[in-house]
Amino acid sequence: MEFVPGDEAKESLKARGLTFEMILEAIADGKAIDFHPSSTRPGQMLLIVEICGYVHVAPCERRGNTWRIITAYPSRKHHKKHPP
């Protein structure tokens, strides 16, 4: 499964101190914890990754043979469910 970054000008990522490179690096380092459908957004999948010792959610959408990462945010809910 291949993941590609979304819009590099994503202000929400910058505000959270995250980059798409951090997300892709976490995937490459084997810190991808889970990948499951979004319960609120049809067609999206949620990639759960550990970044800097905390669990983050990265919503993704399918683009051909790849998954485009839309954004990422820290998640207390998933951190409790999947402690690092």
The structural domains of the chain, ordered by start, are: 2-81 (3.10.450)
* Average per-residue pLDDT for the chain: 93
Host H or E run for residue 59:
strand 54-63
Nearest to 78 by CA among 31, 41, 43: 31
Q: What share of the chain has pLDDT > 90, as a percent?
A: 85
Host H or E run for residue 63:
strand 54-63
- Model pLDDT for residues 2-30, shown as the tens digit of each residue: 999 988 767 888 889 999 999 999 999 99
**Lowest mean pLDDT segment, chosen from 6-10, 29-33, 60-64, 78-82:** 6-10
